[in-house]
Amino acid sequence: MAQKDLFGEIVPAASGPARHVIRVVFNQALMGTFDYGVPDELWPVSAGGRIRAPFGRGNKPTEGFCVEVLEDVQKPAERGYRLKFITDVIDDKSLFTKRMLELGIWISDYYFAPPGQTLAAMIPAAVKKGAGVAKIAVIYLLCLPNQVESILSEELKRAKKQQVVFRHLVDSGAFSADKGIEKSELKKATGCSDSVIKSLRTQGIIGMEAASVLKSLPVIPDNYALKTSKKIQLNRHQKSALEYLENELTEARFGVSLLHGVTDSGKTEVYIRAIDKAVQLGKQAIILLPEIALTSQTIQRFSERFEKIAVLHSGLTASQRNSEWQRIVNDEADVIIGARSAVFAPAQRLGLIVVDEEHEASYKQDMVPRYHGRDVAIKRCQLENAHCLLGSATPSLESIYNARYRKHYKLLELPERVMELPMPAMECVDMSSGEDAFSDEILSRRLRDAIRVALHNGEQVILLLNRRGYSAFVFCPDCKEAIRCKNCDVTLTYHKRGGERAGSGILSSYKAGGYAICHHCGSRTLVPVACPLCGKKLVLKGAGSQKLEEELKNKFSGAKVARIDSDSMESADYYQMLDAFSRGDIDILAGTQMLAKGLHFPNVTLVGVLNSDAALAIPDFRSGERTFQLLSQVAGRTGRGEKPGKVIIQTVKPKQTVIQLAMQGDYEGFVNREFEIRRQLALPPFTRMAIARLSDKSFQLLETEAERLFELLGDISFRLGLKITISKPVPSIIPRLHSVYRMDIRLVGGSGEDMRKLLRNAIYEKTYKQKVKIIYDIDPISML
């Protein structure tokens, strides 16, 4: 433990030459490592375990990770400096396997993220805090089995209550502390009092020890159970894909498969069969999902086929997260289901990682370390000689490119829906012409008529409007100005009072009809009736999901309507809403893009997409790809049962090429067209990209520092002969967020190693002193 002087200041726990030296990283924005001595009384230290050490000028006690135990220990004179000594060892055992520690270092190096922050992000906070751990008293027998009868006939001959307790312990086999029974459970089972237990302890018949146990509510409901129903018959394409996967798993070699299957082509069944093969081979499997809302359906389906399942996602309580993590550590799970961070699950027999809906942007983390869950899954499989299975109806252009041209990749195709179901009929409604162009209603006449028919037939409807709130912005037609956020360079979204979840922070103090909120920083304001500049009446522009819900309830008063978005519910509510829709308790489900992701509802026969071209207006080279994926994915939510499906897309740009290709379901045509555009513009996947984003509250300082960094990067690139194009600094697409100005420098070209070499040299350049915040986003998914 740490030693203190009379005034409570931490001092080194040892002095003189260090016999044991370790390399340490701290959970701070520091790229380097630090060598520390280890006092003999704290030795040994495990690589991957946490320690506490004096750090910085004030020698503040700081928690860090040991990343390496150094074998060649130099004397102080040979090093040229004296080492500080660690003061505490927090973990007796490593929190990481050797391969997981390697993965963490790779993430730090590849994504240019501080190693200490990277390792800290890989272990849930609930695990580090020991959430849900409780102290209990364990009762056990101090006798041998062959002594039972003599104790009953002699010591306990007349003590009937003590006999009951003793017999219960014997019947439970509690002949040692590790097989003992919790005191509270023993009292409940036998009805005994504390005095009975005390008497047995006094006689030396039973012992009692303190123990730590994890207590949490079950993650998987009791009604989710194994089913012995007949296996689903695979079609020829599924059989072919599964045959390849089973062979790869049997060979136990690294590889990546991209399972490209149209919506409802049976990708999940292929996942299940591949996982089943991995489990038969004594391996574990991780399945990653893009949204925690999808885990409920996935857990239910997988629970029918697998018994030992663990779940990891942010929707669990802290004690549940720790409990599930420890189950995996203790090798009590064969299948692990979770969102992005489940890629770090401590599985020690890993054979397979499945990345479902691999194209989803939610796999990219927007905080340090800015890793992509799909790419980290691939790297982990490479380190552990496992197979990585990517699945999507609309693969990202990076993945389809890799599957076509890179080693270790294999493209598997499922071109048909299961049971030979037809693809849904696609229909486009031009909202820029005809009566719909002059209507204030969100729903076109054609879509309203289609909804009535579906409801009349007892069918269900999904409507997608990828915009939260009631209206996109509040606008003065005379001043030509919208109400804007005081902290961010964005317009405020209008919310009508009512319909938001309790505790969301946007209900209180708004007694009027509505308010405007910034969905970036959370600031909000009451909306005046008239423009404060000219006094004219303000108008609402651009409908949101809240207004859609209101219109649906007015137009279809007999239908049960529900809205699903982050304003109206918390994570736990998603499961209840989707479960209610699955049971048929809801007729029309309206909401944002979450509805497009991997949900299976056989009674849905109509999908409507409103404002389908909105994403095309975003100045991001991936806007077309996202629009195509969103339209294709949401179209796949219909026609998944016995009845055929229909999709109605409302747009003001019906002739836009991306929308036309989505209407035709022509993924190949879209890929070929987009590949040609990106090849000509030297954009991913044909080149590497990184963004250096600078930010500061002073725009003048920001401009100066951005120009300095631009010149430094250019000088280093020229000096090292790197083939990287460095664009001049420009304001970010949203130039100001949270009262902080932002500028971007885009770096394109070269290899991944060239990019890291450039950035590494820039950060260690002694002549350059950083005066503003700089983050580096490697392989950025969004330009926002």
Instruction: Identify the three-state secondary structure at position 684.
Output: coil
DSSP class per residue in 299-312: HHHHHTT-SSEEEE
For residue 391, the cross-strand partners are 259, 356
CA distance 178 to 170: 14
Phi, psi of 49 (to 5 degrees): -95, 160
| Bridge partner residues of 462 (DSSP) | 589, 607
Write the CB contacts of 765 (distance below 8 Å, at least 6 apart in sequence): 712, 716
Name the residue type at position 664: Q
Q: Which strand (E) or helix (H) includes residue 473?
A: strand 471-476
Structure tokens at 558: 């007999």
| Structural contact between residues 758 and 717, judged by C-beta atoms closer than 8 angstroms | yes
The answer on whether 66 is annotated among ligand-binding residues is no
C-alpha–C-alpha distance, residues 450 and 23, integer Å = 66
Q: CA torsion sign, 228 to 233 to 237 to 240?
A: positive
One-letter amino acid for residue 437 of the chain = A
Distance (Å, rounded) from C-alpha 537 to C-alpha 450? 36
Please tell me whether 143 is known to bind a ligand: no
CA-to-CA distance for 558 and 556, rounded, in angstroms? 6
Across 292-395, the runs of DSSP E, i.e. the strands, are 309-312, 335-338, 350-356, 387-392
- C-alpha distances (whole Å) from 680 to each of 44, 661, 686, 692, 748 are 57, 21, 9, 23, 13
Q: With beta carbons less than 8 A apart as the criterion, state whether 94 and 46 touch.
A: yes
Q: Distance (Å, rounded) from C-alpha 469 to C-alpha 473?
A: 9
Which strand (E) or helix (H) includes residue 103?
Answer: helix 98-110
Cβ neighbours of 774 (radius 10 Å): 18
CA–CA separation, 422 vs 633, rounded Å?
15
Q: Sheet holding 50-55: strands in order across?
A: 34-37, 21-26, 60-70, 50-55, 88-89
Q: Which helix (H) or strand (E) holds 755?
A: helix 752-763
- The reply to whether 192 sits in an annotated binding site is no
> How many angstroms separate the Cα of 49 from the Cα of each of 20, 22, 120?
15, 11, 11
Rounded to whole angstroms, how far apart are CA atoms 733 and 619?
A: 8
518 is in an annotated binding site: yes
- Answer whether 64's CB lies under 8 Å from 10's CB: no
**Do β-strands 350-356 and 387-392 pair in parallel, antiparallel, or remain unpaired?**
parallel
Torsion, CA 468, CA 469, CA 473, CA 475, rounded to 10: 150
What's the sign of the alpha-carbon dihedral 442, 448, 454, 456?
A: positive
Residues 6+ apart with CB under 8 A from 532: none
Which DSSP letter does residue 59 get?
A: T
Q: According to the annotation, is 388 in a ligand binding site?
A: no
Binding residues, as ranges, are: 476, 479, 485, 488, 518, 521, 531, 534
Q: From the annotation, which residues make up the binding site for Zn(2+)?
A: 476, 479, 485, 488, 518, 521, 531, 534
